[in-house]
Amino acid sequence: MLFKGINSQSRTNVLPIENLVIVNFSMSRHSAFLSHQITTAEVLSTCFQNTVVLTRNADAFEYSSKYKLVVSEWQSRQPLRNSIRLILKFLRILRVPGRTVVFFHMTDSSAAILSPLCKLLGMRSVLWYAHKHRSVFLRFASIFLDSIVTSTDGSFPKGKKSAIPIGQAIDTSLFNSSTCLSSKHLLFKLYHVGRIDASKNIQLLIDLLVSLQQFDERFTLTLIGKPTSLYQEKALSTLKDEYCHLFENASIKIMNPIKQEELVHLVHNFGIFVHAYLGSLDKSLLEASALMKPVVTINSEYLTEFGSWSQNAMSDSRVNFLVNEVRNVMTSDLDSLNNELLRRQKIVIERHSLELWARKIYPILIEKGSK
């Protein structure tokens, strides 16, 4: 078992907290962006005697017997009904004897609803929050939460309430590769994985492609993902109209999101992972690095930890910085390039693996050595 060390410790010692309630967004294996929440629940459930996952939606498939699954049946545009249903479901699952900790995984809105109840009932509550934006939900929930954990110092907004950085939770048993780059022909095939939303600066990635094609028309861009709202769909439609010639000649392609198990095989058909999100340390950056894909980004959290290809600070022109990064990758000799890819993969394994993340969050959940 991957987490045998944690599990054996919990078996041999008397735990101050026996029960875990995980509140998250999705337990759907078909969710391209949130399916990792299933893996997280499976891992954490091995550390407690009883685990219940309270989620907004789930698939009809066989889940682990290590935890009980409860679906709150969250509906869009029904905030009051959703809140009432969530509270009622939450109260019904608190009938197991022993102390309980509640872990809000990537759901500050649910934390805002339930953390006051946790405080009232004397239950420890912990939130995972890895965004630079301080939401109104976070501000309110912070009053009642016992601890907040995040990925890196720069992935949490500055303010009165601090967060404990513990790294990201990358499943390095899945996102792993031992294949070194043997040719540069794939590097012309740029790709991006994630939501096709304005926050991901897709416009900047297209500008990058346009600039690169001035040097070599073999460069292409594939976007693996989809918009998350009607507003974002309209924004993508506008981009398609503006750059219709690039879509028509297949310089830009859009692929629907796929399962993580399929993604790790698909990306072997592509070269450089390009990324323009300016917020927190994005999981997709680390997953690409774990797969030994060259990552070109303007994300400051990634650049601080992994460095840039050009070893230059980002200039006023973000597109010029990205262009220089790609060109430095393209002009590197294969040995130097593979050595750098191995170095970055090692950083992911040593600092951001799911196993390490579980070992760091466990004492925070049970109060040992936590803030």
- Residue 371 burial (C-beta neighbours within 10 Å; 0-12, 13-18, 19+): exposed
Q: Is residue 20 part of a domain?
A: yes
**What Cα–Cα distance (Å) separates residue 364 from each residue in 51, 140, 165, 192, 371?**
16, 21, 11, 34, 8
Predicted TM-score (pTM) of this structure: 0.90
pLDDT tens digits, one per residue of 55-88 = 998 876 667 678 999 999 888 889 999 999 999 9
Contact 93, 54 (CB under 8 A): yes
Q: Is residue 180 part of a domain?
A: no
Reading the block at residue 242, the tokens are: 């503006």
* Domain match, 126 and 255 both: no
* Domain match, 323 and 358 both: no
Q: Is residue 280 part of a domain?
A: yes
Any bridge partners for residue 53, and if so which? 22, 69
- Residue 244 burial (C-beta neighbours within 10 Å; 0-12, 13-18, 19+): exposed
CA 334 to CA 63: how far, in whole Å?
44
HSE-up of residue 112 (Cα within 13 Å, Cβ side): 14
* Domain match, 99 and 135 both: yes
Q: Is residue 175 part of a domain?
A: no
* Domain match, 17 and 162 both: yes
Give 17-74 as a 3 state SS string.
CCEEEEEEEEECCCCCCCCHHHHHHHHHHCCCCEEEEEEEEECCCCCCCCCEEEECCC
* Domain match, 347 and 361 both: no
Any bridge partners for residue 68, and if so which? 52
Give, rounded to a whole angstrom, the gap between the first and last alpha carbons of the chain. Answer: 29
Name the domain count of the chain: 2
CA 17 to CA 366: how far, in whole Å?
6
**Helices and strands in the chain, H and E counts:** 14, 12
Distance of CA 65 to the CA centre of its chain: 25
* Domain match, 156 and 271 both: no
* Domain match, 130 and 210 both: no
The residues of the chain scoring below 70 in pLDDT are 1-16, 30-34, 60-62, 64, 313, 315-316, 368-371
Q: How many other CB atoms are found less than 10 A from the CB of residue 71?
A: 14
Structural domain for 89, as ranges: 4-168+354-365
* Domain match, 236 and 341 both: yes
DSSP 198: G
pLDDT for position 10: 43
Reading the block at residue 318, the tokens are: 């973000």
pLDDT tens digits, one per residue of 118-174 = 999 999 999 999 998 899 999 999 999 999 999 999 999 987 789 999 999 999 999
Reading the block at residue 363, the tokens are: 């004492």
* Domain match, 109 and 74 both: yes
pLDDT for position 31: 67
Contact 56, 83 (CB under 8 A): no
Residue 194's SS3 state is coil
Contact 221, 190 (CB under 8 A): yes
Indicate which CATH number applies to the domain containing 324. 3.40.50.2000
Q: Is residue 178 part of a domain?
A: no
Reading the block at residue 39, the tokens are: 């893996």
CA 18 to CA 1: how far, in whole Å?
20
* Domain match, 119 and 189 both: no
Phi, psi at residue 17, to the nearest 5°? Answer: -130, 125
Q: Is residue 18 part of a domain?
A: yes
Q: Is residue 177 part of a domain?
A: no
DSSP 99: -
* Domain match, 347 and 359 both: no
pLDDT for position 178: 87
Q: Is residue 267 part of a domain?
A: yes
* Domain match, 200 and 343 both: yes
